[in-house]
Amino acid sequence: MKKAIKLLVLTGALLSVGALAQFSNQSTFNYYFPYYAAIYTNVTQVDFFNTNPGTGVYEGALKANSISGYYESTETGVVSCLNDSSSSLPTDYTVGGNATSASLSCNFAPNAVTKDQGFSVSGYSNASATADTDGELLIITNASTFSVNVTVNNNSIDANVATVYAIPDYIDSTPAIANNKSGQDVTAISFSNNDAYSTQYSNAKVIPLLFYASVDVLNAAQLDTAQSMTVTWTVSAP
């Protein structure tokens, strides 16, 4: 009788294992982590035509490297621009009446860039040479695509005085603007992940910055009047 009882118990156990075989022995854990994005810059102030830039500032990279088309941010730069562009100057001038409008734009690199020392970049991944820039934007995001835009505060710069441009690029060893990217009006700028370089951290990207101001020397008014604007960089991810 005892043997029969043991046999029945064992049979019942075997039947239980067979019934559990239809269930999974795996568990799936899903992550629906939200996208995040933050932006920082090490450029705190950019000065053009500053007669007393002070200490602890840098020349704009376009000026320091003597890039063709960008001149010193001084009176000699204006003269140089006028001399180089003399063929485009109007030959007829009308006093007290209307005449065909003319424009002569000259580009000037900043002569004083003040940087926040909170972070620095020594070079760029996939760059052909050690980068020379006016500054950088540091993007922290887990998104594969993102966009950078700006909001402008206390903008008192008249469009007839100067338009400030930013180029998402760096100066190579030639020297030249490495990827021939064009400048965008800094008040209506739009950068993306296509302008960014990788760092040693997968979620940290860097966008280099070069600045210049375009001044219409025939029509600009109040060039000797101090004017400023503050640009706040913003980044968004999907």
List, as one string, the DSSP characters of 48-96.
Answer: SS-S---SSEE--HHHHTT-TT-B-SSHHHHHHHHHHTGGGS-S---SS
Residues 102 and 150: their CA atoms lie apart, in Å, by 31
Omega cis (within 30) before 34: no
Q: Is residue 125 part of a domain?
A: yes
Asked whether residue 73 is assigned to any structural domain, the reply reads: yes
Question: pTM of the prediction?
Answer: 0.82
CA distance 214 to 209: 16
Q: Which domain holds residue 166?
A: 33-86+101-236
**Confidence class of residue 235 from pLDDT cuts 50, 70 and 90?**
very high
Q: Is residue 115 part of a domain?
A: yes
Q: Is the pLDDT of residue 144 over 90?
A: yes
Q: Tokens representing 230?
A: 């503050």
Domain membership of residue 50 (yes or no) is yes
- 60 in Cβ contact with 69 (< 8 Å): no
Residue 63 lies in a domain: yes
Q: Residue 15, Cα to own-chain centre: how many angstroms?
A: 68
Residues in the chain: 238
Residue 94 belongs to some domain of the structure: no
Residue 205: is its pLDDT beyond 80?
yes
CB of 169 closer than 8 Å to CB of 179: yes
Decide if 27 is inside a domain. Answer: no
- For residue 145, the model assigns a pLDDT of 96
User: What is the number of structural domains in the chain?
Assistant: 1
What pLDDT digit, counting tens, does each position of 106-122 carry? 899 999 999 988 888 87
pLDDT for residue 226: 76
Task: Give a yes or no: residue 10 inside a domain.
Answer: no
> What is the gyration radius of the CA atoms in the chain, in angstroms?
31
Give yes or no for a contact between 237 and 141, defined as CB atoms under 8 angstroms apart: yes
Which residues are 197's β-sheet partners?
206
Residue 90: which residues within 8 A CB-CB, separation 6 or more?
A: 99, 100, 102, 218
Segment 41-58 shows an average pLDDT of 88
